[in-house]
Amino acid sequence: MSTTSSHTAAVTVATLRKLKRNGEKIACLTAYDASFAAMVDGAGVEVVLVGDSLGMVVQGRETTVPVSMDDMVYHSRAAARGQRRALLMVDMPFMSYATPAQALLNAARLMQEGGAHMVKLEGGAIQVDTVSNLTARGIPVCAHLGLQPQSVHRLGGYRVQGREAAAAEAMLQDAQALQEAGADVLILESVPSALAARITAQMTIPVIGIGAGPDCDGQVLVLYDMLGITQGKTPKFARNFMPGHDNVQAAMAAYVEAVKSGTFPAPEHCFD
């Protein structure tokens, strides 16, 4: 496998589904501006994620909760100017999708003003009506289960989710409900590897993991974690790809190669 993706055409939802069917891993990285989006795209990822993680790694906040819709539109628009081939996925920030009607208006902003190709939202069965409303109107949706950073205050911190049998079963049911509602992609964050493997095997849509083990259909990392420049504690599931590489672009390409070959995540990046 080369260090860049074998796909030269623009990546679409159909591309991601085909990769899952063919058993080829999907590589995703965050980017928040035009320069990094261009580099990430050039490294061969299938998905560039403009995450609300920008609240922490760009704005210096303690959580993602203060990030606004205007913030997300601004950074999405900037990233869209840089990327050329990858699918541009953009987070809907805290309380921007409290109702299906509100979600529709804000998702439209991200696509029309921000250039997003897909929006991402957190939550399980409670989001079924919202996902159905968005996808019925032509808006691709990525659902997000497991650790949900926008709910960090309710969760009591950044904790692994789904370790208890009841919680694991509820997450599986949520995943199935979101898929039936029309979700195009599912992200699992900080989930035991065995549970993530079970969910991935039962989903027909692509499942992308972050701290969810090697058996997901793809992997995503926050760019700043991957480059080793995150301030403070680095998550267990992250890996710094800069050592051994002369420049940022080479480190990004190494990340893509590691995802594609299955060497990342390694056991030390996973949860039991």
- Which residues participate in catalysis according to the annotation? 189
b/e burial code for range 120-151 (CB count within 10 A of at least 16 → b): bbbbbeebbebbbbbeeeebbbbbbbbbbbbe
> What is residue 217's three-state secondary structure?
coil
Rg (CA), the chain: 17
Q: What is the DSSP letter of 32?
A: -
Whether 206 contacts 175, CB under 8 Å: no
Residue 126 half-sphere exposure toward CB, CA atoms < 13 A: 8
First to last CA, the chain: 29
